[in-house]
């Protein structure tokens, strides 16, 4: 796999998935049942319940309309897979037939992010998952990993490349997702996102790599965070080889 194929492998499929899901939303919003059913027939698996849980969590972790937030949370109780929903002082607990989903706002509990107002805005925190996951990794002292892989929207036709952070705390496996302003139990995150890991890079590796990448950035040499996370080993090997060749040429 060559990192130069990144656009073909990930960006173009992402765009197709986004267009398909947007078209499905539009058909539903416009009451176009024929178009909605036609698009839905293209999918093999439906994730409507998981998507509704995901939306409710995003509302819970934002500073949006409280009435809409409460409506989405109450609506979860009507799902067959949900047994109970509780908003507690220390977070949100959704009890499902596949296990509990325990959610805290990153902006409430994660050191270094309590003053980040972007986290409270659903629109402001979107679109920079790779960049923000790397920033998070560089802030943590304990061992954590930036995981890059696929997550899904309404169906298996809505498949997107995404990055999140995984860590262990008091023996519990957790996921922190900047774009959701959420930290939750890992099994729950993988359940509602249908997450599929492609690569993982430790914060130790990232901090070492940034000794090189940070210096290059200061010189105006840019790089793509998503390409780095997906092809980290190849990326750094090529970069170190090019730097070594450049140093030899300068002698």
Phi, psi values for residue 154, rounded to 5°: -70, -30
- Residue 244: what pLDDT? 61
- Residue 154: what pLDDT? 97
Distance, CA of 226 to CA of 229 (rounded, Å): 5
- Residue 251: what pLDDT? 46
- Residue 14: what pLDDT? 97
- Residue 159: what pLDDT? 98
- Residue 245: what pLDDT? 54
Alpha helix (H) residue ranges in 80-202: 106-109, 129-139, 186-193
- C-alpha dist (Å) from residue 4 to 8, 134, 224, 234, 238: 9, 21, 11, 11, 12
Distance, CA of 202 to CA of 177 (rounded, Å): 16
- Residue 53: what pLDDT? 98
- Paired with 152 in beta bridges are 159
**What does pTM read for this prediction?**
0.92
- Residue 1: what pLDDT? 45
Q: What residue ranges of the chain have pLDDT lower than 70?
A: 1-4, 242-251
């Amino acid at each position: 796999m060559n990192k130069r194929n990144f656009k073909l492998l990930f960006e173009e499929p992402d765009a197709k998935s986004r267009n398909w899901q947007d078209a499905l939303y539009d058909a539903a919003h416009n009451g176009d049942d024929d178009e909605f059913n036609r698009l839905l027939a293209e999918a093999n698996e439906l994730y409507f319940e998981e998507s509704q849980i995901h939306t409710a969590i995003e509302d819970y972790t934002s500073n949006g309309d409280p009435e809409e937030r409460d409506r989405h949370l109450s609506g979860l109780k009507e799902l067959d897979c949900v047994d109970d929903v509780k908003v507690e002082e220390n977070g949100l607990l959704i009890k499902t037939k596949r296990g509990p989903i325990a959610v805290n706002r990153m902006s409430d509990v994660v050191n270094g992010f309590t003053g980040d107002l972007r986290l409270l805005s659903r629109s402001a925190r979107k679109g920079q998952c790779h960049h923000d996951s790397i920033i998070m990794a560089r802030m943590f002292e304990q061992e954590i990993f930036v995981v890059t892989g696929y997550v899904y929207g309404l169906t298996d036709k809505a498949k997107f490349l995404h990055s999140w952070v995984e860590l262990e705390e008091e023996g519990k496996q957790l996921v922190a997702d900047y774009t959701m302003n959420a930290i939750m139990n890992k099994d729950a995150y993988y359940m509602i996102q249908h997450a599929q890991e492609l690569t993982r890079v430790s914060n130790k590796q990232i901090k070492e790599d940034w000794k090189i990448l940070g210096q290059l950035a200061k010189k105006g040499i840019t790089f793509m965070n998503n390409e780095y996370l997906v092809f980290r080993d190849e990326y750094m090997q090529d970069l170190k080889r090019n730097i070594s060749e450049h140093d030899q040429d300068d002698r």
